[in-house]
Structure 1
């Protein structure tokens, strides 16, 4: 007997930590690590070019909860609590009658246990501010609504998925017994894996999993750069093992929804806060402009997202909050700076900008614009990355042609042949910074690096060029 449906769909977000986009088979990983994610990407909606707005934990999480840029919330680096007055996903769904729950890593408070007033408005709570500090792979310690420590059994990823399944079961109602449909629920399940365990600087996978993947396939950027340094060869086996277990838990969650007759009325979104470059771009794992640091997996299924849709345009995880609200039939707050990509799901030709904007902190005060073709990165040489959220002066630092150089090994910044491209991207970046609430900065050109071998055909390489119909000449840019 099928149970009565709530008026609005349930919504679940699975949020991993430090997961590269190319850890998934949908993005070409040959190790069969993510069959569940890959199936959702194929039969649901796959955001093929998804990026974080900030490649470090707390700022990315603040953006995910609020739909606002880190410089707007003030959480531009780790260690800055989310302002208590922030309107979060929990606030929006809760005000609409949803039961809201949070499980796992928070990283938006200033202590553990997280005080009630710093929990973003979630009704039920089973989490820790910095979960990798309160737990390890086989000892998961979180805190409940009363601030009491709770130890969850099993491997950490499994323990958090088990808690998520219990939450769903507790709020699903009983078919044939409940006279009225249960309240819809919004659940945010935030995993630690595949993040490293800080105190040992390692990626502890479940027993036996690291051995499966040690010494096997490695993404080309890591393979190319590991000879110069980094930890990819040492850590990749454990990292892949963690990714595999995350996907197995994802399958269990979907099976639980299916068994409770909830799968067809539950939107499930899977994504990550940022990627991981294994110290090949700087002296740690993220906080850089490169795709290894900023590009993430993203797929959704459920009402409005089923049917095998693929979004080719660049989208940001800052766009996910308004998208989820929009798909649930709720109003999107006007102060959200992300943009619902539900129109793209419904119509691939819908209007959408061909770029995403990123802010970088802690390692630098940096700004990035990433299009389908180009990556343009500037840094502020006079700014303190731990104290300054933004700057008035930046210098061009990196320019990549990510179509012809997808592993970002050839920095084109300063080449006269690419000056026109850099100038156009500079103006686009300034525009995006202003739209995000920042003051328009001065951006200085990179020092010239003459290279007579380079030539850019404006018809082919300007980002504003669009293919002409057969029989017509392309317009002059």
Structure 2
């Protein structure tokens, strides 16, 4: 791979991507991930320097097809970013957050608040409601910082003359509680929309500008979409669906269900964060101390969970061996888009619940095992097909190229008829 891979990232800055946590360990704000603004200028951040490195690559006018994968650290917690982005959002103008303390939620909600001492935020002036609004404003400010960096990248793409031959895909790997439900960061078995419904924007030559797809899609749809745009046949079994028709203006499939899963099983102790084999539980001065301690002391609070979501309903099924029904969730999204009223087990939703469980069961049956279909004549073991010219970042010229293998999403594009040659992924 070294002959086709070019590392364009910059050396890590001394900033460490975070402003300081100025609270003491006895302060109820200490474990909230809310930090002060960066002391250094935005240009000293790792994200900025990596974007600048990508811009330099684009300005080098590469003559061979390339793929750039550019992940950012923000808006990942701690909640912090450089000024003026840190203070750019007025907390008083934000809509109300999803409230905490619902008895309809699984136990891990209350346990997170207990282990992080979040209820003690009510001793502050304005209580936890005001605090979480301020935290959420900083979270949105850090997203604004990412937007600014993306704007830099797109301007450079245009200036380099590559705009009409490059597909740009923007997405996030997960969301964040950021104060919703009175919680912070994320949880391995949390599958609320605030964690799983993420942005997906695609701009591709010849696509339909400003088209918004309201129907469900999944992040793994990016792979078959990218392959089809590049006129490449997949060389592995996958379950994603190409979104090329949607990029050209078509609506999505309103009947489609999408899936997510997370959590751990107690028969796999090394999967749990804080396990001794992976470094153990950090000292209390670490902001991750409560999260890892909870997983080790209350393993069922992070039991395996799987979800199936349609446009109208969402089922989250958990594997707690003691009380799976109590910890599972069902939401009528048409009536309750914020997932505040858990209707799992209610007689009037029995048919919906059964239908979604059946969808989840069929999904696992269809995708759990894939039998190898290419044999290695030497041993009978599966052979890994060799791509003629696997492309990551920058590759030799070749007539054929091979790439390694959320909703709503925006499908925006210019009106060029030319088939694109390059791919740029921007991830935050």
TM-score for both structures, normalised by structure 1? 0.53
Does the residue aligned with 1:135 lie in a helix, a strand or coil? Answer: coil
Given the superposition, is the C-alpha separation of residues 249 and 153 from structure 1 closer, same or farther in structure 2, using an over 3 Å criterion?
closer
| Residue of structure 2 in register with 1:155 after alignment | 45
**In structure 1, C-alpha distance between the alignment counterparts of 2:171 and 2:95, rounded to whole Å:** 19
| Residue of structure 1 in register with 2:82 after alignment | 206
Given the superposition, is the C-alpha separation of residues 251 and 353 from structure 1 closer, same or farther in structure 2, using an over 3 Å criterion?
same
Given the superposition, is the C-alpha separation of residues 349 and 297 from structure 1 closer, same or farther in structure 2, using an over 3 Å criterion?
closer
| Residue of structure 1 in register with 2:176 after alignment | 276
Given the superposition, is the C-alpha separation of residues 164 and 293 from structure 1 closer, same or farther in structure 2, using an over 3 Å criterion?
same
| Residue of structure 2 in register with 1:357 after alignment | 259
| Residue of structure 1 in register with 2:330 after alignment | 399
Out of 50, 66, 87, the residue aligned to residue 185 of structure 1 is: 66
**In structure 1, C-alpha distance between the alignment counterparts of 2:342 and 2:185, rounded to whole Å:** 20
**Contact 1:132–1:192 under 8 Å retained in 2:** no
Structure 2 gap segments, 5+ residues each = 21-41, 103-109, 119-130, 265-301, 371-428
**In structure 2, C-alpha distance between the alignment counterparts of 1:394 and 1:322, rounded to whole Å:** 35
**In structure 2, C-alpha distance between the alignment counterparts of 1:377 and 1:431, rounded to whole Å:** 15
Given the superposition, is the C-alpha separation of residues 408 and 378 from structure 1 closer, same or farther in structure 2, using an over 3 Å criterion?
same
Does 2:145 align with 1:264? no
Aligned ranges 1:446-461 → 2 under 5 Å: none
Does 2:165 align with 1:246? no
Given the superposition, is the C-alpha separation of residues 207 and 347 from structure 1 closer, same or farther in structure 2, using an over 3 Å criterion?
closer
Runs of at least 4 residues of structure 1 off by over 4 A? 131-134, 226-231, 279-284, 349-353, 393-396
Once the two structures are TM-superposed, the CA of residue 161 in structure 1 deviates from its matched residue by: 1.4
Given the superposition, is the C-alpha separation of residues 438 and 367 from structure 1 closer, same or farther in structure 2, using an over 3 Å criterion?
farther
Does the residue aligned with 1:257 lie in a helix, a strand or coil? Answer: helix
**Contact 2:92–2:133 under 8 Å retained in 1:** no
Does the residue aligned with 1:407 lie in a helix, a strand or coil? Answer: coil
- Higher share of residues assigned strand: 1
**Contact 1:226–1:280 under 8 Å retained in 2:** no
Paired positions, count: 284
**Contact 2:15–2:45 under 8 Å retained in 1:** no
Structure 1 gap segments, 5+ residues each = 1-90, 92-115, 140-151, 174-181, 198-202, 384-392, 440-477
**Contact 1:138–1:155 under 8 Å retained in 2:** no
Does the residue aligned with 1:187 lie in a helix, a strand or coil? Answer: strand
Does the residue aligned with 1:422 lie in a helix, a strand or coil? Answer: helix
Once the two structures are TM-superposed, the CA of residue 216 in structure 1 deviates from its matched residue by: 3.3
Given the superposition, is the C-alpha separation of residues 286 and 264 from structure 1 closer, same or farther in structure 2, using an over 3 Å criterion?
same
Once the two structures are TM-superposed, the CA of residue 318 in structure 1 deviates from its matched residue by: 1.1
**In structure 1, C-alpha distance between the alignment counterparts of 2:134 and 2:19, rounded to whole Å:** 21
**Contact 1:213–1:240 under 8 Å retained in 2:** yes
Once the two structures are TM-superposed, the CA of residue 136 in structure 1 deviates from its matched residue by: 2.1
| Residue of structure 1 in register with 2:76 after alignment | 195
Given the superposition, is the C-alpha separation of residues 350 and 311 from structure 1 closer, same or farther in structure 2, using an over 3 Å criterion?
closer
Once the two structures are TM-superposed, the CA of residue 413 in structure 1 deviates from its matched residue by: 0.6
| Residue of structure 1 in register with 2:321 after alignment | 382
**Contact 2:77–2:185 under 8 Å retained in 1:** no
Does 2:224 align with 1:322? yes
| Residue of structure 1 in register with 2:282 after alignment | none
Does 2:92 align with 1:216? yes
**In structure 2, C-alpha distance between the alignment counterparts of 1:433 and 1:133, rounded to whole Å:** 45
Once the two structures are TM-superposed, the CA of residue 356 in structure 1 deviates from its matched residue by: 0.5
Deviations 1:96-124 (A, max 9, x none): xxxxxxxxxxxxxxxxxxxx8xxxx9702
**In structure 2, C-alpha distance between the alignment counterparts of 1:280 and 1:154, rounded to whole Å:** 31
**In structure 2, C-alpha distance between the alignment counterparts of 1:282 and 1:350, rounded to whole Å:** 34
Deviations 1:132-191 (A, max 9, x none): 99922489xxxxxxxxxxxx9523332221111112223x24xxxxxxxx1111000000
| Residue of structure 2 in register with 1:336 after alignment | 238
Does the residue aligned with 1:421 lie in a helix, a strand or coil? Answer: helix
**Contact 1:226–1:233 under 8 Å retained in 2:** no
Given the superposition, is the C-alpha separation of residues 138 and 126 from structure 1 closer, same or farther in structure 2, using an over 3 Å criterion?
farther
Once the two structures are TM-superposed, the CA of residue 296 in structure 1 deviates from its matched residue by: 0.5
Does 2:198 align with 1:296? yes
RMSD: 3.4
Does the residue aligned with 1:216 lie in a helix, a strand or coil? Answer: helix
Does the residue aligned with 2:345 lie in a helix, a strand or coil? Answer: coil
**In structure 2, C-alpha distance between the alignment counterparts of 1:122 and 1:307, rounded to whole Å:** 33
**In structure 2, C-alpha distance between the alignment counterparts of 1:168 and 1:326, rounded to whole Å:** 23
| Residue of structure 2 in register with 1:427 after alignment | 358
